[in-house]
Chain A
Amino acid sequence: MGGLRLLAAATEFLVAFGLALTGCASGEPHSDPSAVTPAASAEPVSTAVPTAQPDWSLEERLRWAVDVAAAVTAVKEAYPHDFAYARIDDFRVAASIAFTGAVPVGAADLVGGLPGVELVADSGSSEQQLSDYSGALRDVLGVEFETAVFSVVSHVDAHDRTIELVITGPVPGDPADPVGPAAVDPAELERIAQRARELAKATPPPPGVTVVVTVDPVHVYRPD
């Protein structure tokens, strides 16, 4: 796993893994890590969403979508520990900005009266928390399987409350793998995946979050 060979010392990243999981001890253990559990639905908080403009032109909707994106960034920067995720639907002129707990006082001001933007409270974990967790998991795998040639593609979804790790073959061009994809050993990839599942079970992710670990011996991330 080329990228993870960059890690300097196993102990450092095992500690980092532990740190990333701080506060997650009460996470619900998931019995079947290969399956996605349904996301708990967040309870929307009424934020007196201004009426959207269904008769807007496409141009107006697209401009609105950029303004909302900018507002979401401002909210995330102002409340990095409260911000969970955001969704934008410019066809419906509807967007939601979700928070891990209560909607912070002042968040609505940052949205600045943009129509169709809903602020949602109590939406669980943040994308940052999920990214930190998946990153720590990757780091530990890199240390434990330092001599293996594999790579990981990861996705997180705070809305669906899932972390997905795909264990794949080596990165194209990696000089550590002169043989190429033919050298991929699906059994070894499966061992790595199984270890990832064990790690996720031993140190659970944030509450309500499911870790999905799969093996893809055929495809790799392809730089274009």
Chain B
Amino acid sequence: MRARVLFAAAVLATASLSLPLAGASAQVAAPPGWDGAQAVGEEAHLAPALPEDPETRHPPADRTQDELEWSVEFARVATHVKNAYPDDFSYAGLADDYVGAYIAFAGAVPDGLAEAIGGVSRVELIADAGFTRDDLLDYQGGILRSVTPEGVDGAFAVVVDNDPLRRVFDVTISGVEGFESSDAGAASSAQLAGIEEDIVRFVASAPPPAGFAVTVLPAERPVAGFEWEDGGRSLAGVCTGAFPVKRNAGPELGILTAGHCPGTGSYGSTSDMFYPPYPYSLDTKYNVNTGGDFRWNHSRYLLSGYTYLGGEGGRKRFARAEDPWVGSQVCHYGRTTGHGCDTVRSLNSGAEIYVPDGHRVYEIGPLVRTWNSITRPGDSGGPWYFRGTDTAAGIHSGVYGNGSYFSYVTNALQNFGVTLWVG
């Protein structure tokens, strides 16, 4: 298992910005004059022979439906255990071969837990890991807070990953070019080296938990900010993404889309854009107050905070979400039909859909119905918003008769514990 945690700090000339970043460490090279990689605190904290880099342990993408269903069931159980035993839970994950999974605890396995999760097969419970998940997150927070950006006038990002199996924190420091809202360039090599020194000092004064090591990985070149994906892009060639979101209880970023759309695959110009589905990231159902046809896909990469709305709609940052009401003017974007607008005809409609990777037919709702059918296959998952504003309204679902239907974005945000991400 690799529990990637996205953190970053970006500092521009006069403003401090938060830049979650992922997936950059493997592709970048050290800028001239900066040494880049080094192990921090070798004597006390660095394991002498780390296991192979986890990038080589990613499972192949062509899993069977049964395997995918089982993995989603396991994810639900693991999340429940994590929430129910926050003082005991350490980490969880799927084995490389997808035929087994594990849940680890800092000390003993809580009483009765093995029986309670008996309905999900092939799960190993591991005792005495020696650390909790919160221990890891607290330490990662300490690394980030140790960065003192005074004197740094360029943009940079600090990414901290933790891997409980390898017992290591991987820290990547890189400059950021082309940052959307600033003319500032990437931080210089000297400035990045200063940031690294801050982290080295922190690790020396505060050893990581449970024998973890800390490594600082090389940054071969600055990250290009303009390459970050928007919401609203084509998803797996068959659907459309809606708004970018960030998990409230963590740094994970993702893209909202329809529940019947793929949870993984390509997105925009990026192949293999998403991690395997995040626990509880698919919650398609009928419930008057919280239901709908939606999911969010956990992005491996940083997102721009913008949502693409086609040539006519441009790109927008949606910082606000509201429920539309009968008569509301709403617009949508989809990869097939592009940009279009209509008026809300009715609320609280219900229907049924088949979700391929859930392998079931789900009753969905409430859905919002427009007066006209202005969407076509491929538009599913795309954004709906209040016309002429930066207020999000919905996630596209489908068509019946002469109306288009979409889910409430507020229900998705509430259900998943995520908020709109604007960069």
Which residue numbers of A lie inside 8 Å of B, CB to CB? 1-6, 58-59, 62-63, 65-66, 68-70, 72-73, 85-90, 95, 127-128, 130-132, 134-135, 138, 151-157, 159, 166, 171-176, 219-224
Contact = CB atoms under 8 A, between A and B. Distances in A.
A159 B378 contact: no
A163 B228 CA distance: 45
Given A66-B386, A69-B386, A224-B379, 17 more contacts: A72-B325, A73-B322, A88-B326, A88-B327, A128-B288, A130-B348, A132-B288, A138-B363, A151-B361, A153-B400, A166-B400, A171-B354, A173-B354, A221-B398, A224-B336, A224-B396, A224-B397
* Chain B interface size range: 35 or more
Contact of B288 (A69, A88, A135, A220): A135
| A-B CB proximity, top 10 nearest | A2-B361, A3-B363, A173-B354, A62-B388, A221-B351, A3-B352, A88-B327, A224-B380, A223-B398, A154-B350
Contact of A62 (B334, B346, B360, B386): B386
B366 interface: yes
Given A220-B400, A221-B400, A223-B258, A69 B322 contact: yes
Given A6-B360, A58-B388, A174-B361, A224 B376 contact: yes
Contact of B349 (A63, A68, A132, A154): A154
A156 B346 contact: yes
A156 B322 contact: no
A72 B324 CA distance: 9
Contacts of A219: 400-401
B398 A222 contact: yes
A112 to B, nearest CB: 15
A108 B258 CA distance: 36
Interface of B: 258, 260, 286, 288, 293, 320, 322-329, 334, 336, 346-354, 356, 359-366, 369, 375-380, 386-389, 391, 396-401, 404-405, 410
A208 to B, nearest CB: 17
B327 A87 contact: yes
B362 A6 contact: yes
A3 B198 CA distance: 56
A172 B399 CA distance: 13
Contacts of B328: 65, 69, 88, 90
A175 B399 contact: no
A175 B388 contact: no
B352 A224 contact: no
Nearest to B347: A127
Given A3-B362, A127-B347, A154-B350, A223 B380 contact: yes
B361 A134 contact: no
B154 to A, nearest CB: 37
B288 A66 contact: no
Contacts of B387: 62
B352 A221 contact: yes
Contact of A65 (B323, B354, B378, B386): B386
A195 B235 CA distance: 41
Most B CB atoms within 10 A — which of A87, A128, A153, A154?
Answer: A153
B369 A171 contact: no
B360 A2 contact: yes
B108 to A, nearest CB: 34
Contacts of B353: 3, 171, 221, 223
22 contacts: A4-B363, A65-B386, A66-B320, A69-B324, A69-B325, A69-B328, A69-B391, A87-B326, A90-B328, A138-B350, A138-B363, A152-B351, A154-B349, A154-B351, A156-B346, A171-B361, A221-B351, A221-B352, A221-B399, A221-B400, A223-B398, A224-B380
Nearest to A76: B323
B350 A134 contact: yes
A176 B361 CA distance: 9
A123 B351 CA distance: 27
